[in-house]
Structures are given as structure tokens and as C-alpha cells.
Amino acid sequence: MNKFDLAGIGMTSQRTRDRLVRRLTGQGISDEIVLSALSSVPRHIFVDEALAHRAYEDSALPIGQGQTISQPFVVALMTQTLLDQPRPRILEVGTGSGYQTAILASLPGLVSKVYSIERLLPLLDRAQERILAMRCYNVRYRHGDGYLGWPEDAPFDGILVTAAPRSVPQVLLEQLAPGGRMVVPVGGDEIQELQVFDRTEDGFSMQTVEYVRFVPLLKGVRQ
């Protein structure tokens, strides 16, 4: 099986993805559009070939550079939470493997364009290659510091942060459009709160939806 086996055989089959979706439904993921994206996006092409047999487990997996691909439940939860309504322009902080990016880019009617930032160039290059193999052409990529966001294309209707800062970056909040929403894991190394910020006429409201575990959000860039 090569790294861009989009058809899938055996453990990467459509039936395997459908079993994953049924499991996610049992865990409380209810948005049919999000579930359809989880079913159609082949997670196995976003992990190393040696781990492809584990691609449809509900677990995080290493992708190199000290980073991980999030477990499918967390990807589904964050996507469902972010997209409580159509949010055409999304900023993703932390491209990583590209799996979450591909999910967002595969949601017509909810998302029109994804702006994705990654500080680790090898991960960004691999992710872009995989996403293009899926013919997702509505993604813009940047090798940069996620703490800075993407100011020249702000504001965004939604921001999704896929690594955990110890405190919420004010710069990212300021890049939310009025009525925009940001979903971000916040906290220390062991466990974080998945927090949701909505930009209102009076400022920002916040709620915590889950306890999660992510790699830390780091500043700067690396080649």
C-alpha cells in the first residue's frame, strides 16, 4: 500500500471508516456533515505506512518531529464544536499531519477556505502533498509561528488551534470576526481544557467543553 492509497484495502477500507463513524456516533458526535467527512477522508494516508494498520483506531498516533495526529474523536469534537453554523473562512493553527485540515476542507456549505499554519516545515510539506492528493484545493498554507496567526487575511469566521498554549493568545482572539468562534485546548503538559471563545458585541464569551491532551503550542519556526 503506498502513502496515497486513496481507494483503501483491508484495514483502510470504507467499511473500516464506517465502523469508526458508528463508534464516534456512540460517543456523542451527532453532526451528520462532520460524520460524513470523517467517513470519506482516508486517515491512513496521513500516518506513516508502518502505522496504517492503526489508522482507524480512536487513538492519537506519532507523525514525527515530536508531534501526533489527534484521535478521531477529538478531531470530530473540535470540528463539530467549531462549526455550530457555517464559517466560511477558517484559520487552523497547527497543520500537523494535515488530517484535521482535510476534514475542514471537505465540508462544503460550512467551510469555503482554510488557512493553515505550521511551524515545522517537514510536516507542512508532507501535509500539503497529502491534501493535494485528495484534490482539496481550498487550503492556503503558511510556514510560520502560530502564535502570530495570519493578520493580513484576518478576520476569520473560525479559528481552530490543534496544540495547547498555556494561556489563550490574545493575538488570535483579535483575529476573530464579529460572531466568530475559536476552539483551543488550553493548559499545561498533562491535561488541558478544550475552550470555546465566541466574539460578541461586548467582547468574548468562553465555555469549556471537554478535557483533552495535546502537544504544547510552541513559538517560532523550524526548518
Query: CB pairs under 8 A, 24+ apart, for 20-23?
Result: 20/56, 20/58, 20/72, 23/58
Domain-located, residue 22: no
Catalytic residues: 70
Higher per-residue pLDDT: 220 or 3:
220
Domain-located, residue 32: no
Residue 2: which pLDDT band, with cuts at 50, 70 and 90?
very low
Lowest-confidence segment of 9-13, 160-164, 191-195 by average pLDDT: 9-13
Distances (CA, A) of 187 to 64, 76, 191, 196: 23, 21, 7, 14
pTM of the model: 0.92
Domain-located, residue 186: yes
Tell which residue, 141, 132, 142, 193, has the closest CA to residue 168.
193
Give the DSSP H or E segment for 91: strand 89-93
Domain-located, residue 46: no
Lowest-confidence segment of 4-8, 54-58, 64-68, 94-98 by average pLDDT: 4-8
Higher per-residue pLDDT: 208 or 48:
208
What rounded mean pLDDT belongs to the chain? 91
Q: How many domains does the chain have?
A: 1
CATH code of residue 206: 3.40.50.150
Distances (CA, A) of 78 to 37, 74, 75, 114, 138: 13, 6, 5, 15, 20
Tell which residue, 95, 93, 110, has the closest CA to residue 37.
110
Q: What pLDDT digit, counting tens, does each position of 90-138 carry?
A: 999 999 999 999 999 999 899 999 999 999 999 999 999 999 999 999 9
Domain-located, residue 35: no
Domain-located, residue 47: no
pLDDT above 60 for 4 = no
What average pLDDT score do residues 57-86 get?
Answer: 93
pLDDT above 90 for 5 = no
Predicted pLDDT of residue 10 = 42
Predicted pLDDT of residue 18 = 83
Domain-located, residue 194: yes
Contact assessment for residue 114 and residue 100, using Cβ atoms and an 8 Å cutoff: no
Distance CA 139, CA 102 (A): 9
Domain-located, residue 99: yes
Domain limits at 208? 58-212
* DSSP strand pairing (176-187 vs 192-200): antiparallel
Higher per-residue pLDDT: 37 or 15:
37
Distance CA 199, CA 192 (A): 22
Predicted pLDDT of residue 13 = 66
Tell which residue, 216, 159, 162, has the closest CA to residue 187.
216
